[in-house]
Structure 1
Amino acid sequence: MTKPKIAFICTHNSCRSQIAEALGKKLAGDAFESYSAGTAIKNQINPDAVRLMKKIYGIDMEASGQYNKTLDALPPVDGIVTMGCGVKCPYLPAKWRVDWGLNDPTGQADDEFIKVIKQIEKNILALKDQIK
Structure 2
Amino acid sequence: MTKAKVAFICTHNSCRSQIAEALGRKLAGDVFESYSAGTDLKDQINPDAVRLLEEHYGIDMLANGQKTKTLADLPAVDYVVTMGCGVHCPYLPAKKRVDWGLEDPTGLDDDSFMQVIKEIEDKVLELKQEVNGLW
What is the TM-score normalised by the length of structure 1? 0.98
| Counterpart code for 1:59 | I
For 1:1-132, what aligned pairs fall within 5 Å after superposition?
1-132=1-132
* Cα deviations by residue, 1:57-98 (Å, 9 ceiling, x for unpaired): 000101110000010000000000000112312221111100
Report SS of the residue matched to 2:121: helix
Q: Could you tell me the percent identity over the aligned residues?
A: 72
Cα-Cα RMSD: 0.6
Report SS of the residue matched to 1:77: coil
Report SS of the residue matched to 1:7: strand
| Counterpart code for 1:46 | N
Between the aligned partners of 2:24 and 2:90, the Cα distance in structure 1 is 23
* Cα deviations by residue, 1:83-121 (Å, 9 ceiling, x for unpaired): 011231222111110000000000110011100000000
Consecutive aligned runs of 4 or more in structure 1 exceeding 6 Å deviation: none
Q: Residue 19 of structure 1 contacts residue 120 of structure 1 at CA under 8 Å; is this kept in 2?
A: yes
Structure 1: segments with no counterpart, 5+ residues: none
Between the aligned partners of 2:52 and 2:37, the Cα distance in structure 1 is 20
Q: How many residues are aligned here?
A: 132
Between the aligned partners of 1:36 and 1:13, the Cα distance in structure 2 is 7
| Counterpart code for 2:107 | G
Q: Residue 10 of structure 1 contacts residue 87 of structure 1 at CA under 8 Å; is this kept in 2?
A: no
Q: Residue 4 of structure 1 contacts residue 33 of structure 1 at CA under 8 Å; is this kept in 2?
A: yes
